[in-house]
Chain A
Amino acid sequence: MRTDIIMVLLILTNMVVLGSSRLRACIHVVAAQGVALGILPLIIHSFEPQLLIFAVLSVLLKGVIFPLMLWRTLRQLNVWREDDPYVGYGLSLLMGPIALAFSYWISTRLPMPFSVHSPMLIPVAMFTLIVGLFIIISRKKALTQVLGYLVLENGIYAFGMAIASQQPMLIELGILLDVFVGVFVMGIAIFHISRQFDHINTDQLSTLKD
């Protein structure tokens, strides 16, 4: 039951990210999504000390450090809205339910060989994945693309939770570290992009082509 509340929260946050042009709101929503996912392992699995450390680290990174880093970039750049995406907001919002339906359909086609804690877990993880990819492809601002990358990683994280009994925690920590450094490096890149171009639209990055 508590898992299902988190799953519904994931679906709602995904819809907000799809439909909102305000970058600050998007950062907050992705942070909320990160916190919800961070406490997910504590709900799904029986309590263990190492699990608690892992959950605290996830919540700290996804809920506090990433948003702060992005927030700082946002303030330095003074860019607050994603005005003119490749795919409009109405269409993006319409995409949401379609992707959700697709995720449910595909998860019925792939039977799990073991029982999963909640029947919603796999489809919602896939939905989050698809939304992340869609944001990366359909938005122009570099910062929004990083947000898309975070949503994508959240989807994979949720998927990982479904099968966490099969994976050593060490690897999960490695993954968290990679995402952390990834966002850090991307943040630096965005800062340089804004200095070079006076804006962070990636459609200006089109000198190199054949």
Chain B
Amino acid sequence: MIWALLLIPFTAALLSLLIRSDKLRRSILVVAAFSHAAIMAASWIHTPAPILNGWFEIDPIAQLFMSITDVLFLMASLYAIGYLKAERRSQKKDFEEGEFFANAPETIFTGCLLMFLTTMTIVITSQNFGMLWVAMEATTLVTAPLIYFHRHHRSLEATWKYLLICSVGIAVSLLGNFFLAIAASAHNGVSIPLMRSDLIANASQLWEPWVKAAFIFFLVGYGTKMGLAPLHTWLPDAHSEAPSLVSALLSGALLNCAFVGILRAFEVTTAAGHIAFAQDLLMFFGLVSMTFAAVFVIGQADYKRMLAYSSVEHIGILAMGVGLGGAAVFGSMLHAVNHSLTKAALFLVAGNILAAYKTKTAGDVRGVLSAIPASGLLWTAGILAITGFPPFGIFLSEFLILKASIDQGRYAVAVTYLVLLAIIFIGISAIALRMTQGRNVKPVSVEGERTLSIVPPAILLLGTLVLGVYVPPHLSSLLHHIANLLGGY
């Protein structure tokens, strides 16, 4: 079954590069996304066997993050049908600077989208650190053309920054791999292969200074890709310039993939007995990211950039939750689910607003609720969800992390966390909720309101709403299992 997970999107990507008919290519995208998600859904009932001597396996972490990725990818591919139809015109007017530009060919866009799914599948299911690294670099390369879909100079600038900064970040994490290899080198003639299970089983034999150095390099390298401040500088540009469905996938799926890379390194470091060291580092980067987000989200003029900074905030919360340990690890994993669902929904709705108003400046958008009511409603609900309003899921997971930090007696952390959350809440709601108010403001067009652009974000938001009220026992036991692996409960 893992073979199918790897080969379905890969074959579909090759096919979509060859097929001329737009309609057929779009259906291939949806069929591939659907069958990938169906296989993943089946794996909840029956875990598939590892393949290639255990190089690829659906372990608990892979189970969780692959499922999130598949839900998001399925919704994004449904959204893509309508989006690609609307974007077909060959020459378009740039609404910010009035120049003309063309879009990238749809074949390349769809092909890269499917390759993106392939590489993410490899990253998440890989049990070998080297393989994980190769696939992580590949995600950078296949997403670069996606960010440069609108061929104007702002998206080009975003793509260049993304390519260069992430490539350097990935190079740093390659050094992390090398350091890990040194740490795993022979005590008595036999060195440990860079497989997750082998490293964890023989963790007591790892050389101490090199394990620690490897974790630092993994954290900095993959942290660049994950958007941990102060290494996040590519993130707001790429998220604001990419097409909205790509931003949704970047934020909801790709950042998680980088997080998986860090979690794998964390597992090994924990098994080697340096859990406190790794936790402190994660906690530090988490709080710094939240601080950066709080500073930049206040008065942010561009609503897609605002969402991007909100991603930096939530990535910070994820890192902080794992860093706190104990019950917070469970909260952090639940938060990963909630954040992905909510943020992907918000980016998709932001795409609708962008299509209707032809501007990304929050100040120029007024009366979304009256002009495009369905999107307006989803936007309001999404903003409430992302800022941690009950009864949405993010409220629950943020609360669990807060409770864990108070239970551990880390009051300074708890207070900082609350203050930062409050600042970001005020910052985001002031910008985003003002957009929904107002009357008699005519949008440029209402082409953004289609069934396929409303239903996917609605489903995602419904998911986070349900998770706020009721966490299914299957999911809950999986999250506890992962928390156990990561030194929590």
Contact = CB atoms under 8 A, between A and B. Distances in A.
B305 A156 contact: no
A178 B185 contact: no
Interface string A146-180: 00010011001001100101111011001101100
Contacts of B237: 208
Contact of A160 (B128, B178, B209): B178
Given A178-B134, A208-B154, A189 B160 contact: yes
A182 B210 contact: no
A149 B168 contact: yes
B168 A133 contact: yes
A182 B145 CA distance: 12
B87 interface: no
A22 interface: no
A178 B131 contact: no
Contacts of B171: 149, 152-153, 156
B207 interface: yes
A127 to B, nearest CB: 14
B377 interface: no
Contact of A114 (B134, B185, B193): B185
B240 interface: yes
B156 A196 contact: yes
Contacts of A205: 153, 156-157, 160-161
Contacts of A177: 134
Nearest to A190: B160
A182 B167 contact: yes
Contacts of B138: 178, 181
Interface string A171-210: 1001101100110011001001100110000100111101
Given A167-B130, A178-B141, A210 B296 contact: yes
B454 interface: no
Interface residues of A, number: 41
B297 to A, nearest CB: 10
A98 interface: no
B478 interface: no
A168 B192 CA distance: 12
A174 B134 CA distance: 6
A185 B163 contact: yes
Interface in B113-162: 128, 130-131, 133-134, 137-138, 140-141, 144-145, 148, 151-154, 156-161
B191 interface: yes
Contact of B156 (A112, A175, A189): A189
Interface in B163-203: 163-164, 167-168, 171, 174-175, 178, 181-187, 191, 193-194
Contacts of A171: 128, 130-131, 133-134
Band of interface residues on B: 35 or more
B213 A110 contact: yes
A189 B144 contact: yes
A202 B137 CA distance: 22
Contacts of B181: 163, 166-167
Contacts of B300: 210
Indicate the member of B174, B236, B240 with the most A CB atoms within 10 Å: B174
A202 B167 CA distance: 16
A112 B186 CA distance: 11
A33 interface: no
A202 B185 contact: no
B241 interface: yes
A193 B156 contact: yes
A164 to B, nearest CB: 9
A8 B191 CA distance: 31
Contacts of B167: 149, 182
B130 A207 contact: no
A174 B131 contact: yes
Contacts of B213: 110
Given A178-B141, A193-B156, A208-B157, A166 B182 contact: yes
Interface string A78-110: 000000000000000000000000000000001
A156 to B, nearest CB: 5
Given A113-B187, A175-B134, 16 more contacts: A110-B210, A113-B185, A149-B167, A163-B178, A163-B182, A166-B184, A167-B194, A175-B133, A178-B138, A178-B141, A182-B141, A186-B163, A193-B156, A196-B152, A205-B157, A210-B300
Nearest 9 A/B pairs, CB to CB: A171-B130, A174-B134, A205-B157, A166-B181, A178-B137, A196-B153, A208-B237, A113-B207, A181-B141
21 contacts: A110-B213, A113-B186, A136-B164, A152-B171, A159-B175, A165-B191, A166-B191, A167-B130, A168-B193, A171-B130, A174-B134, A175-B134, A175-B174, A178-B138, A182-B141, A186-B164, A189-B148, A192-B148, A207-B153, A210-B300, A210-B305
